[in-house]
Structure 1
Amino acid sequence: MEPASLENLRVLYHSDDFIVINKHWDIRIDSKMWYEKQTVQSQLRHRFPELADPGTYYGFRFCHQLDFSTSGALCVALNKAAAGRAYRCFKERLVTKAYLALVRGSVQSSRMTLDFSIGRSTAEGRTHMMCIAGSDGCENPKPCQTELVVLEYGSYSGDPVTKVLLQPLTGRTHQLRVHCSAIGHPIVGDFTYSLRTDSAPYRMMLHAYLLRLPLEPEPVEVIAPDPFLPKLDPLWAPQHKVQPLEGALEQLLQHPKDPVEGEEQGSSPQHAGTVEGKTAPRETEEQIAQCQQWLSEWGMD
């Protein structure tokens, strides 16, 4: 529960080609702002100055993104060749991710597929937020899906909460946060998607637990330890276990879901329910921009 600092970078995996860190909560990955002293970029420069690459804008090649408020497994490539392999892995939808979260209330179904298209909000006061299709000011919603598995019921500071395992099947901005909020179970401590009401917890309770990249010749599979344990945060009081985390994760890995097929804006409304037989979605604007940035920095030769 200690705040982030330059010294407390937690390394989960380190090879000649990749570092995977356990990103702290409430820290940006990188920043162009001179006053942003506390970033993952600065932590890496402090811990591994010899690995910084002056040929890149940020000094390090981050293979993917995590929100400022989200903790957990974050992969960094240490050379152009490794970055190229990681890029292709993400582009071909071969990466498996799983997140842990505490959400408000008691989720009734033990397993759900959350199927809501997500777009960017243009509503007054919400221009930095995402929204689900059909809500006021939701611009250009895109199909996306999240698998939700209930692990435990309990309470946080005396209020009912549910511990869940989340698997994003698409990569929309703020997808997990928006989907949980859309079913009436916002993530504990998510100030933004609780409409600025959930400000008491010391952090947002969303954690990137598993990251699997089937790379050749070096597969990377890393677990960032579960931070939502009573011994680490006594405000979280588990009361009833539905299934163990290890079993839920094993089931997820043994029976991976197909990615969601992209659809044009104006297609039929999305709803909560299982969708089968889908193929890979079109790349989002954010993914295309990220890939273009990667390509310009790395080169693929």
Structure 2
Amino acid sequence: MEPGSVENLSIVYQSRDFLVVNKHWDVRIDSKTWRETLTLQKQLRHRFPELADPGTCYGFRFCHQLDFSTSGALCVALNKAAAGSAYRCFKERRVTKAYLALVRGHVQESRITISYAIGRNSTEGRTHTMCIEGTQGCENPKPSLTELVVLEHGLYAGDPVSKVLLQPLTGRTHQLRVHCSALSHPIVGDLTYGQASGQEDQPFRMMLHAFYLRIPTQAECVEACTPDPFVPTLDACWNPHTLVQPLDQLVQILRADRDDPQKVTLWPCSPSTHLPGPGRPPPPPPRPPETEAQRASYLQWLSEWTLEPDN
């Protein structure tokens, strides 16, 4: 796959209020450091100089985040009102997201619900990473839930690998990467949570891609499905040999109930293997009314959405 450049920005959805871009792998969203010669902000300014908002530091408001090493669907709000409507969708957990990944090993279960609680790692040398509850140095673990469906089994550079679809039902930092690693099936190319052996020298990128995104705002439903990057025609190292679940069927399920994303799961009629132990965490308690401090934070978010560089 060609490296990122300021010209090769891919747009998968566009309206008066929103853009959804297919973010290139290993491109940061923005950066305060002079060393970053290419960022998504710079790509957007180059492609859409007329859409840049002078009222923000970087010119564009991002509705959510992707790690710089993750590719795929990323939503950009083009004005303050649109940013507010997207914020409410995320706050009320009405957003649907699904990711594609290549993970190490052949995952034996075809469908898994992963419910390891995730907290910040306080271990020396690992303070910018996350970990699962019960591991040494895990601080303030919070319930986390990911649905996993196996799509294909195959080989990557001769090693056994599975292609999976991941649906995060909570939004913890590095959630998908931590959950896959906790299953002993780390994402191929993940240098932080992957295998310590030389196996990770082969991939040219981390094999995690934001495949599907739906943000049902009051004015419009922002929905985008990006091309699958994990196919042999784009990466000759990937050699699938066994089809487990067709991807197009899962896309139909994701799109089936646009009115109630809380009901959308990747397998509404079939049981899945729950890991670990008891399965899903209990539902969150009702949220108290928004405080003045939270309201002020919300207004600050609208005025300038600034992302810290990834670690």
Contact 1:41/1:59, CA 8 A, preserved across alignment: yes
Aligned AA for 1:104?
Answer: R
Q: Aligned to 2:279, which of 251, 274, 290?
A: 274
1:187/1:62 CA distance change after superposition, 3 Å: same
Cα shift readout 1:105-130 (whole Å, capped 9, x = no counterpart): 01011000000011111112211110
**2:172 aligns to what?**
172
Is 1:295 aligned to residue 267 of structure 2? no
Deviation of 1:234 (Å): 1.0
Structure 1 unaligned blocks of 5 or more: 260-269
CA distance in 1, matches of 2:241, 2:195: 28
Deviation of 1:291 (Å): 4.8
1:238/1:253 CA distance change after superposition, 3 Å: same
CA distance in 2, matches of 1:162, 1:186: 10
CA distance in 2, matches of 1:143, 1:276: 6
Cα shift readout 1:21-43 (whole Å, capped 9, x = no counterpart): 00000011011112212110011
Is 1:221 aligned to residue 223 of structure 2? yes
CA distance in 1, matches of 2:297, 2:19: 20
Is 1:22 aligned to residue 47 of structure 2? no
CA distance in 1, matches of 2:285, 2:251: 22
Is 1:44 aligned to residue 53 of structure 2? no
Which segment is superposed worse, 192-201 or 76-85?
192-201
Contact 1:191/1:199, CA 8 A, preserved across alignment: no
Structure 2 unaligned blocks of 5 or more: 265-274, 289-293, 306-311
Is 1:181 aligned to residue 188 of structure 2? no
Aligned AA for 2:57?
Answer: Y
SS of residue in 1 equivalent to 2:162: strand
Normalising by structure 1, what TM-score? 0.88
- Give percent identity, aligned residues only: 66
Deviation of 1:96 (Å): 0.1
Is 1:54 aligned to residue 54 of structure 2? yes
Aligned counterparts, 1:1-301, within 5 A? 1-194=1-194, 196-197=196-197, 198-254=200-256, 271=276, 274-275=279-280, 278-279=283-284, 291=298, 293-297=300-304
Q: Structure 1: which 4+ aligned runs deviate by more than 4 Å? A: 252-259, 279-283, 287-293
Contact 1:14/1:20, CA 8 A, preserved across alignment: yes
Contact 2:70/2:208, CA 8 A, preserved across alignment: yes
Deviation of 1:199 (Å): 3.0
Aligned AA for 2:78?
Answer: L
SS of residue in 2 equivalent to 1:251: helix
CA distance in 2, matches of 1:205, 1:158: 16
Aligned AA for 1:202?
Answer: F
Cα shift readout 1:196-229 (whole Å, capped 9, x = no counterpart): 4423200000000000011222111100110001
1:167/1:227 CA distance change after superposition, 3 Å: same
CA distance in 1, matches of 2:187, 2:77: 30
CA distance in 2, matches of 1:158, 1:275: 35
SS of residue in 2 equivalent to 1:211: strand
Cα shift readout 1:230-276 (whole Å, capped 9, x = no counterpart): 111111001000110011233345476569xxxxxxxxxx8255327
1:53/1:296 CA distance change after superposition, 3 Å: closer
1:282/1:186 CA distance change after superposition, 3 Å: farther
SS of residue in 2 equivalent to 1:83: helix
1:195/1:21 CA distance change after superposition, 3 Å: same
Pairs aligned (count): 285
Deviation of 1:54 (Å): 1.2
1:291/1:224 CA distance change after superposition, 3 Å: farther
CA distance in 2, matches of 1:276, 1:254: 25
Contact 1:114/1:273, CA 8 A, preserved across alignment: no
CA distance in 1, matches of 2:297, 2:263: 23
Normalising by structure 2, what TM-score? 0.85
CA distance in 2, matches of 1:280, 1:22: 35
CA distance in 2, matches of 1:207, 1:292: 31
1:23/1:101 CA distance change after superposition, 3 Å: same
Contact 2:80/2:303, CA 8 A, preserved across alignment: no
1:289/1:204 CA distance change after superposition, 3 Å: farther
